[in-house]
Structure 1
Amino acid sequence: MDVMTLMAQFADPETLKNLSITQKLTASMITTFLGMGITFTSLIILQVVIGLLARFTTEKAVEKAPQSPANAVSIAAAEEDQRHRDEELVAAITVALSLQLGTGVGNIVIRNIRKIEDHSPAWNKVGLAELMNNNA
């Protein structure tokens, strides 16, 4: 009995009862390997497509231009502005802590401030916002 005839009989519930154990086992193995082969092949194709998309969608590294004197002055001004903003941030945090703790501003010393990145997904942020709004 050839494979196509066996698979046609294996698909029909009425003729499935008439098959021997070895024919059923053979047809089951063919079905299993065929399904696993199709799945494995499609996963390989998907991996290749994702690799190609990643290669074409990555951003190119921006080359730094040599600094000119005017460029250096603007960078220095930007750094001074950032330092001023940092000092304002420290002052605001110090005042908020002194109000919360009920102590004077002179008793609080802030030595280090680090920004912590929030890597939570958007649905998590929305859920937290809704929870906070409902409890308020």
Structure 2
Amino acid sequence: MNELSIMERFADPVLFEQLSKGELVQGALITTMMGMGITFVVLTLLWGVIAAVTKVINGTEKKNSGSTPLAAPAAVPAAAVQNTAPAAPATAEIGAEIIAVITAAIAAMENQSSTSNQLIIRKISRVSGNSTSWSRAGAADCIESRKI
């Protein structure tokens, strides 16, 4: 006579009702361990794929940064440059890449704004404190949303 395993009896609805409490607990534990094991294996594989992709991306960034120089900052319209403080102290504290990003943002804003809304940058300085730029922007958005 062919004896069925505990999992075969656990899977059959008719035989399931005939299982003892110990066999039910054993089947439940086996099912739980199989589910957790499969989940662990899949998460481990996912972690490996992410680590490999990160290495590939970091490798290509290192190759690209060594072969191509940084792009020059975009030109800012004359209206945005007038009445500004000298840039020498600001460039000593802020890197060229950050200045390029700020300049590009100003140029994009100038292209989108109307002629009556002129932007004049007086000073660029690093903000001190433990909060990040994202948290300060979120707090400002929260305050602005309550003014309406």
Structure ID, larger Rg: 1
Higher helix share: 1
TM-score, normalisation: structure 1: 0.50
Higher relative contact order (CA 8 A, sep 6+): 2
TM-score, normalisation: structure 2: 0.46
